[in-house]
Amino acid sequence: MGTGNGTEPESSGSLRTFGAVLHALREHHGLNRGELGDLVGYSRHTIASIELGRRMPDLDFIEPADQALGNTGALRKAAEHLKREPGLASWFRQWARMEKLAINLYNYECRMIPGLLQTEAYVRALAADNLPPLTDPEIEEMWTARTERQRMLHERPNTAFSFILEEHPFLRRTGGVEVTRQLIDHILEIGTLRNVEIQVMPLVQEKHAGLQGPICLLETPAHKWFAYNEGQESGLLLSDAKLVSIIQTRYARMRSQALTITDSMSLLQRMRGDL
C-alpha cells in the first residue's frame, strides 16, 4: 500500500531546518520540550524527534505550535519547504505522516497483506510484478519506507493497532512457499504484541460488511477520526465526520464477523503447517 515509482528524493536538510527553527523559537520563549508538548498536545519525545529532523511534523502540529511560539508565521513558512519521504506514493504521504501520531490505527486489507505487516521478501515479490517496472533503487526505497513505518508497532506501545486480514492472500502464496512461510511467522510474532490485534476473515463467510474495499482508520491525539481509501494509482483522505462514521461502523461489524484473535492465530499456524 502507498508505494510508487514517481517518488521525490527526501531532503533531510529541510527536516533539520524546520527542526532548528522550532528549537530556536522554543528556547526563545523559555520552554522545554515537555512544556511545548503540553501546549500543543504532543509528547516531549515527538517534539525532540521533530527538532532533530527525524520526524515529519504532522499537519495538526504546525498551526498550534506556531501559535504557541509567538504566532509569527515562521513555522508555517518553514513547513512549506519540507520535502517528502522517499518510497511512498505522493497520494499516501499525508496519511503516512498522520499515522505516526495516531492513538488508534485500524486496517482492513482484502488484496494483499498490509504494509505494516509485510516482510522484506514479500515487499520484493510485490515489487517484481509492479507495472511499470521499478528500478532497484526504487525497490530499496519501498522497503526502507516500509521498515520506517513498521517501527511504530514497537515504538508506540500506547497506540492500539487493529488488523483484519483476508485468508485468501495467504493462500495465493505471493513470492512462493518460503516467502509465505516467513510472512506468516512474522505476523504471528507481531500478533504477540500487547498493542496489536490481528483477525482473519475466513475464506468462507456468508456475511461480510467490507465488500466495498479496503479500510484504513485512525484517531489523532486530538481524538478526531480520519479514513483513507486507496485504489489504482490514487488515494483519498476522508475527514467528513459522516463518511468516517459509516466506515467505522463497517469496520466494527467486520470485527464481529472475522475470526476471534485466538482463532485467527490458530488458523495462521495451521496454514503455515500446511506449507
Secondary structure of the chain as H, E, C letters: CCCCCCCCCCCHHHHHHHHHHHHHHHHHCCCCHHHHHHHHCCCHHHHHHHHCCCCCCCHHHHHHHHHHCCCCCHHHHHHCCCCCCCCCCHHHHHHHHHHCCCCEEEEEECCCCCHHHCCHHHHHHHHHCCCCCCCHHHHHHHHHHHHHHHHHHHHCCCCEEEEEEECHHHHHCCCCHHHHHHHHHHHHHHCCCCCEEEEEECCCCCCCCCCCCCEEEEECCCCCEEEEEEECCEEEEECCHHHHHHHHHHHHHHHHHCCCHHHHHHHHHHHHHHC
User: Cα 188 to the chain's mean position, in Å?
Assistant: 19
Position 90 scores a pLDDT of 53
Position 49 scores a pLDDT of 84
Position 91 scores a pLDDT of 54
CA distance 158 to 151: 13
The one-letter amino acid code at 4 reads G
User: What's the half-sphere exposure (Cβ side, CA atoms, 13 Å) at 206?
Assistant: 0
The one-letter amino acid code at 86 reads P
CA distance 244 to 187: 28
Q: What count of other Cβ atoms lies within 10 Å of the Cβ of residue 223?
A: 9
Q: Which residue has the cell 511499470?
A: 132
pLDDT in tens, the chain (275 residues): 554 433 333 445 778 888 899 999 999 999 999 999 999 998 888 898 888 887 778 777 888 999 999 999 998 888 877 654 555 555 577 788 888 889 999 999 999 999 999 999 999 999 998 888 888 888 888 888 889 889 999 999 999 999 999 999 999 999 999 999 999 999 999 999 999 999 999 999 999 999 999 999 999 998 999 999 887 767 788 889 999 999 999 999 999 999 999 999 999 999 999 99
Considering only CA atoms, which of 92, 88, 94 is closest in space to residue 62?
94
